[in-house]
A and B are shown apart, each in its own frame.
Chain A
């Protein structure tokens, strides 16, 4: 598995409890405000580590994970690009760890399906449900996102995923954000798991 860094002791940031974030390199999108843009471009910061060694390093926080219902969050970048490594990690790590993936869902569906079966949780940054705004902001279209979103809705328990809908200055204003939220509700997505927020320069 290729990773950028591990960030420990994240409290109620990536969901409930104390989590460790493992940042994975690579992303299919080119978001205008990508906060990790510079890091994603630095190959010298990429380290290759076996899933076993990664679990060994992360195990130092095992007691926190148990006590607070925390665990490991994979972000980046787009962690689903390394879906096979994530699958292997899940098969090897302690079963008590909650495993969460932060994703844009803009990946082939066959990357996602095995991880749904492995009981991963998902934090989805939807950017915008407006195809034009999505394209302008990320450089890609969102057809695959919609497909994967429907899959998540169908197979993942509603309290195991959350969808973040941003206001993006210069791209998606509050009206656009509300339109995106309405579209998500139109898919039957529970409003409780939709998280509006704002990018601020």
Chain B
């Protein structure tokens, strides 16, 4: 059974077709990268999958069940979590508070929620900042906080929307390590990313979209060598070693 299946997904905003007949699937335990130029419809596709927008047509199923019109909070409880490209922490609350909101998805009791949140903060090396207000965090820590909150809901499938944008190279390496480790822990990951070095290193397969349509799919190597991809997105100078 596929973890996620998207079939002929179309999303129109008025006269604009943001996602155009997109079809893709994720196996359990896979890391799938989604790349494409700005405005290609990557985040819109994510938002359709995460229940923010209802698809215009097409079908989305999660663990074999159709989830087209499921609301975001129910999807979260069923094991689908996501981060936001523009991070959305609860700014006046501490880091710990932010993560506890996530861990309440699987428990009613505050001590247990707090214990789970602390475990995740420890895992992501955010422990020493647990009492810092979210609005005072650096961008790298805010991105990590997005992941921490999403992980606290105990997802089976995690959608990461540009969690590496704005990070320093060493921080990118750290994020790549975390993503691989999460997969080893049994989380399936679907990742939008612009940093080619990272997405090529981390993905099992990559899907490329342009003007809402899929123009290529395959292993990082085949995609990087694809002429249409080079023309639409990577640029002539991009070479893969």
A binds B: no
User: Interface residues, chain B, CB within 8 Å of chain A?
Assistant: none
